[in-house]
Amino acid sequence: MNEAGPPRRTRLKEHRHEAELFRRRAIAGFVLITLCLCVLASRFVYLQVWRHDEFVTKAEANYIRLQPLAPARGLIYDRNGVLLAENKAAYRIEVIPERVKDMPALLEALGAVVPLSDDDIKRFTDARRAKRKFQSIPLRFRLSEDELARFAVNRWRFPGVEVVPYQTRWYPKGAEFGHVVGYVSRIDEDDLRILDTKGDQGVEIAALYAGTTHIGKTGVEREYERLLHGEPGYEKVETNADGRALNVLERSDPKPGKNLYLTIDSRLQEVTESSFAGRPGAAVAIDPRNGEVLALVSVPNYDPNLFVNGIGQADYSSLLTAPDTPLLDRALRGRYPPGSTMKPFVGLAGLELGFRTPQDTVMSVGEFFIPGQARGYRDDIRWGHGRVDLELAIEWSVNTYFYQLALDMGIDRMAGYLGQFGFGAPTGIDLPGEGGGVLPSREWKRATFNKPWYLGETVIAGIGQGYWVVTPLQLASAVSTLGNRGQRQTPHVLLATQEGLGMDRVPAVPPPPGAQVIKKPADWQAVAAGMHGALYGDHGTARGLAAGFPYQIAGKTGTVEKFSRTTNEWEARASNAELALRHRALFVCFTPAEAPRIAISVILESAAWGGSDAAPIARKVLDVWMANQPPATTTAGVTP
């Protein structure tokens, strides 16, 4: 622009011209600088006005972290308010790695004051890898009073080590409710996935459980996990670039989980469990009117408290390898042949399906033959019971009557009717892991073994043998349905919920009633009379059991061999002690017979006879039940 400049002819300096030249350059420079600073200023405008909101969000995302606060887990009570699961204050040792110079030396020195197991140290080392070095990591849980005191004295030696109070789950009734209430334990990946698939509308499961360390693994704790868990609160925490929390900006309190009241009556549960005296087996008591489970017992059992903070390897393997499999919930998953307890149902099927009238009789001669086949099917009495109708057949448990009836009905018709009582399918109780049993039929055998059905299998199915498998719960539920004159109710354990201590109990919505499976009341009368006779008749299989009991009881015994009865050795070695090795004793009953308020099934492994071994357990349960019946219920209750 100004290249013309001074003429080149002279190399002399022209001061005035140079001053002018400089002035122009200075002005040009100033204008350029101003322009540049305007560009810079517009960049500020762009960042601070145009993209302001975006950067505010980013800055907040930088320093604000939501820290979840775990809600207090709901408590679990029995129907009368007896505490079954609570949260107990406990103390644990936590270590902040950042403040420890020499970790192995610290662990060794600390171990001398408070015993540390290998499990503790392993868990601690694993957790260290997953956390940042200024985060506190738990090392040892559930300090005893003694350990607490010893650490307090030595505390000055361990900078970076803290005793922290926390809440731990505690099951005051221990093993007695181990199978029903279940237990909580540390969350793992699978748990969250299972919760996820249960589908919570719109609620991010991972967010709900962000602050939670424990989750229900079995029993009620698992089934009602969502109710018990509650909703987490949050702390809005200001953090620095390292992620270290500096202070709390905002806080919303967690919403504690709901307290649950179970239908179980701990007094019945207790007497049921103790009546087994440690012998393996299971018993279930149900209120037939509504399906409320009053007792749900599986023996042997285990102490759920062992699992809460991670069960030690030694404890766990001893539970796993115990011959009586204490971890198996026999009441829900035990697989037993029902034996003679199936007879009232088979008899009912005969009446309802029109193959028999209550008056029809069958001649028992001690052995039953399918026409044209050589194999004999025996009665309990070698010379036979003589001519019996349905009532006597049930009272005396006459096999021949039911052999013939099953043969007449055919397996498929029989299975079709008995399926309505819930055999062959889970009852739908609100507990996880229920077994379905086996309701034998032609179709079932084809699907399972791909084999044809034999007539002999129909015959033994008539007395609850062969392929039959029931769970104690299934049996109790079926007896309960029978007692309730065919009106099915789904068994359940949740009675009521409660928002918090001192709040009102809110009754849980019971499962809807099921189908009515008995069409003719006369049919029911005949079967019930037979079951009544089993306890009160001269030759009833459980005669004498009801002595002194104020209500009429209807029941049925069952004795099942683990092996089939094909040799004569059975009679040669028939002492009770010998039999106990191969028998299972069963007993089902309901009372008051006309309008039952409790139905029970008892299955005792390794016992000689249903009447002499299983039935007394039921009687003990009934006595306690009776003793606790409020008079009001008796008068206002359903009496015929």
Phi-psi region of 238 (alpha: psi -120 to 50; beta: other; left: phi over 0): beta
Instruction: Calculate the CA 43 to chain-centre distance.
Output: 63
Q: Report whether the peptide linkage leading into residue 592 is cis, meaning its omega lies within 30 degrees of zero.
A: yes
**Closest approach of Cβ 474 to another protein, in Å?**
60
Binding mask 57-96 for another protein (x = CB under 8 A): -xx--xx---------------------------------
Q: What are the phi and psi torsion angles at 161 (to 5°)? A: -110, 130
- Is residue 132 part of the contact set for another protein (CB under 8 A)? no
- The reply on whether position 3 binds another protein by CB under 8 A is yes
Establish if 131 lies at the interface with another protein (CB under 8 A). Answer: no
Question: What are phi and psi for residue 91, nearest 5 degrees?
Answer: -125, 140
The least CB distance from residue 134 to another protein, in Å, is 14
Rg (CA), the chain: 38
**Least distance CB 49 / another protein (angstroms):** 6
Contacts of 171 (CB under 8 A, 6+ apart): 84, 85, 86, 177, 178, 181, 183, 303, 304, 305
CB of 320 to another protein, least distance (A): 46
Question: Quick check: 6 binds another protein (CB under 8 A)?
Answer: yes
Q: How far is the CB of 108 from another protein (least distance, A)?
A: 35
Among the listed residues 167, 239, 274, 325, the single contact to another protein using CB under 8 A: 239
Binding pattern to another protein, positions 537-576, x when CB under 8 A? ----------------------------------------
Interaction between residue 31 and another protein (CB under 8 A): no
Q: Does 117 bind another protein (CB under 8 A)?
A: no
Binding-site member from 238, 457, 499, 594 for another protein (CB under 8 A): 238
Q: How far apart are CA 403 and CA 370, in angstroms?
A: 9
Specify the amino acid at residue 150: R
Shortest distance in whole angstroms from residue 40 CB to another protein? 5
606 assigned to active site? no
Least separation, in Å, of the C-beta of 28 and another protein? Answer: 9
Which 357-416 positions form the footprint of another protein (CB under 8 A)?
Answer: none
Environment class of residue 68 by beta-carbon count within 10 Å: exposed (0-12), middle (13-18) or buried (19+)? middle
Q: Which helix (H) or strand (E) holds 20?
A: helix 15-45
Looking at residues 33 to 62 of the shown chain, list those that interact with another protein (rule: CB under 8 A): 33-34, 36-37, 39-41, 43-45, 47-49, 51-52, 54-56, 58-59, 62
From the list 68-76, 235-243, 423-431, 531-539, the region that binds another protein by CB under 8 A is: 235-243
**CB neighbours of 536 closer than 8 A, spacing ≥ 6?**
543, 546, 552
For another protein, which is the closer residue by CB, 59 or 425? 59
> How many CB atoms neighbour CB 209 within 10 A?
20
Residue 601 corresponds to which tokens in the numbers above?
């099934």
Measured from the CB atom, the residue of 2 and 321 that comes closer to another protein is 2
Q: How far is CA 216 from CA 107, 266, 570, in A?
A: 31, 21, 47
Binding mask 240-279 for another protein (x = CB under 8 A): xxx---x---------------------------------
Q: How far apart are CA 460 and CA 451, in angstroms?
A: 17
Instruction: State residue 239 phi and psi, 5-degree precision.
Output: -125, 160
Distances (CA, A) of 476 to 81, 123, 480, 552, 595: 25, 44, 6, 18, 16
Closest approach of Cβ 50 to another protein, in Å? 9
Nearer to another protein, 23 or 155 (CB): 23
Q: 293: how many CB neighbours lie within 10 A of its CB?
A: 31
Binding residues for another protein, rule CB under 8 A, total 49
Active-site residue identified among 266, 340, 480, 601: 340
Q: Which is nearer to another protein, 54 or 623 (CB)?
A: 54
The answer to whether 11 contacts another protein (rule: CB under 8 A) is yes
Q: Which is nearer to another protein, 41 or 105 (CB)?
A: 41
Task: Tell me the residue ranges of DSSP E strands in 21-173.
Answer: 64-69, 76-77, 83-95, 137-140, 161-170
Q: How far is the CB of 68 from another protein (least distance, A)?
A: 21
- Residue nearer to another protein on the CB measure, 247 or 450: 247
The number of helices, as runs of H, and strands, as runs of E, in the chain is 26, 21
Contacting positions for another protein (CB under 8 A): 1-3, 5-6, 10-15, 18-19, 21-26, 29-30, 33-34, 36-37, 39-41, 43-45, 47-49, 51-52, 54-56, 58-59, 62-63, 238-242, 246
Catalytic residues: 340
